[in-house]
Structure 1
Amino acid sequence: MSDAPAFDLDGTVCVITGGSGVLGSEMARAIGERGATVVLLARDETALEEASETLTARDIENLTIPASVLERAELEAAAEMVVEEYGRIDALINAAGGNHPDATTGAETSFFDLPKAGLEQVVNVNFLGTVLASQAFGEYMVEQGEGVIVNVSSMAAVTPLTKIPGYSGAKAAVSNFTEWLAVHVAQEYSPAIRVNAIAPGFFLTEQNRYLLLDEETGEYTERGQQIIDHTPQGRFGEPADLATTVCWLLAPGSAFVTGTVIPVDGGFAAFSGV
């Protein structure tokens, strides 16, 4: 990877957990168009097939593997499959994650009534899933002596958002883990293995669309308007906004960047509200 042009991903092999989701599939398209071979991991086989068809239509080499980020054996089997198919693993994007209604407070659910199972699900898929995937795929990077891991944190890790204590806490753990792992692999194994994260601001996804937009009118909900009012650029993010930042973090042009969490938030973190 080090001999490639600064922003070229030609010939690299990149694994994306949560690769069939809105954000993961956009990242896959962007890095694939820059020459990478893309491996998509997700639990939903139908969604994987649809994402693969989209990539194939763009002449992007891809492989899909059904796997859960919470099952170490499935992740290890997936890593072996990638190496058998392509000979190496150059990059890992930990994009699997999300919130759950059972870990969300509201008019009918107080913080004190949040069920343990809902909180565990959110913490596990966001944080533990990132750790387990980094173990399974990162081990091959250690053998190679080089590689890149990009985690997905959140603005909720910087300033906890109301209603979602599990998600905010899990993403804060992802940011902390990103810094820890960057130092660990550089000192213990190879400085050519880099670990960074992106911290998205507010993007419209299938999970949050109708928390931010009124389903009938298409107007901002009260929560959506609050977010827009605190985002200097005055809009929600688009998947391409994340994808271009990810491409930079994967490419040789960011070779001296590790242990960072990059906000992609339209200025949300910089604005005090005054």
Structure 2
Amino acid sequence: MSFVDELFSISGRTAILTGAGGHLIGEMSRGLGKAGCNVAVLDLREEKAETVAQQIRDAGGSALALACDATRKSDLEHCLATTVAEYGSVSIAVNGAGINAPTPFLDIQLEDWQAVMDSQITSTFLSCQVFGAHMLEHGRGSMINISSASAGPPLSKAFAYSVAKAGIMNLTQNLGREWGTQGVRVNAIRPGFFPTDWNRKNFITREREAAILGHTAMQRYGEVSELVGALIWLASDASSFVTGAEIAVDGGYSAMTI
């Protein structure tokens, strides 16, 4: 094995991911599978989780598909126990469950606000509790939360989402500090714009696209595969002195003013 292969190797480790039937976390799940991890694919929609898990298996990897409401601690505990029974201890966790909504601020209903908060910050909090306790028990782990370009400064048209992502970043820093001497690292990936069909329909008008790309140094959207390198680095021992950090993968969006 070469120096680089050894430095970044995560082969044989077990990873668990929430929201893993979706656009970004689905690709992260496939990337971890290609890197040799055993992958537990968790999603509220079991059929979406199974699709991703089968893609990992078809590529020669090992994966479980598990239905999971990440806002329910009991679901997360059950999925962790199932994963441990199948693969042994979990050392990589990606907490990526969450929804968004484009409702104008004065029209947001409390239940809609709460739905975004629960799906984003509450699910991340519970995942960090459940998976973090397991990692602390074993004295090793890499927890990776999903922040956003909206975590600050906030994006227009994404009020609850922006607040929740700012909270996720704060929680990441808090836990990086809390667990810094206990072998468990906690970091966040801050994606820029990786639009789904839903994003394009609900958020991205022609004018908004011009504003986004004009504020992105590379003047293009990201491809989901471009998140995998940062993910593997954070999951591996190559980032062994990195905790409480937010890693921007945004084509230079966060570097731009005018």
TM-score bucket of the superposed structures, by smaller chain: over 0.9
Report whether the alignment pairs 1:32 with 2:17.
no
- Counterpart of 1:8 in structure 2: which amino acid? S
**2:237 paired residue among 228, 252, 258:** 252
Q: Tell me the residue number matched to 2:151.
A: 157
C-alpha deviation, 1:212, in angstroms: 5.8
C-alpha deviation, 1:261, in angstroms: 0.4
| 8 Å CA contact retained: 1:39, 1:62 | yes
Q: Tell me the residue number matched to 2:190.
A: 199
Q: Tell me the residue number matched to 1:166.
A: 160
Q: Equivalent residue of 1:207, what SS?
A: helix
| 8 Å CA contact retained: 2:17, 2:40 | yes
TM-score by length of 2: 0.95
Q: 4-13 or 235-244, which moves further after superposition?
A: 4-13
Q: Tell me the residue number matched to 2:71.
A: 70
**1:112 paired residue among 106, 111, 127:** 106
| 8 Å CA contact retained: 2:14, 2:88 | no
- How many residues in Structure 1 have an aligned counterpart in Structure 2? 254
- Counterpart of 1:262 in structure 2: which amino acid? I
Write out aligned runs for 1:88-237 (5 A): 88-101=89-102, 104-105=103-104, 111-187=105-181, 190=182, 192-211=183-202, 221-237=206-222
TM-score by length of 1: 0.89
Runs of 4+ in 1 over 3 A off after TM superposition: none
C-alpha deviation, 1:211, in angstroms: 4.2
| 8 Å CA contact retained: 2:11, 2:37 | yes
Deviations 1:118-155 (A, max 9, x none): 11011111101001011111111011000010000001
Deviations 1:136-188 (A, max 9, x none): 1111101100001000000100211111110000000000000001111124x
Structure 1 segments unaligned to the other structure (5+ residues): 106-110, 214-219
| 8 Å CA contact retained: 1:211, 1:221 | no
RMSD over aligned CA atoms reads: 1.3
Q: Equivalent residue of 2:54, what SS?
A: helix
- Counterpart of 1:74 in structure 2: which amino acid? D
Structure 2 segments unaligned to the other structure (5+ residues): none
C-alpha deviation, 1:34, in angstroms: 1.1
- Counterpart of 2:124 in structure 1: which amino acid? T
Distance 2:237 2:33 in 1: 16
Distance 1:140 1:36 in 2: 18
C-alpha deviation, 1:61, in angstroms: 0.4
| 8 Å CA contact retained: 1:24, 1:95 | yes
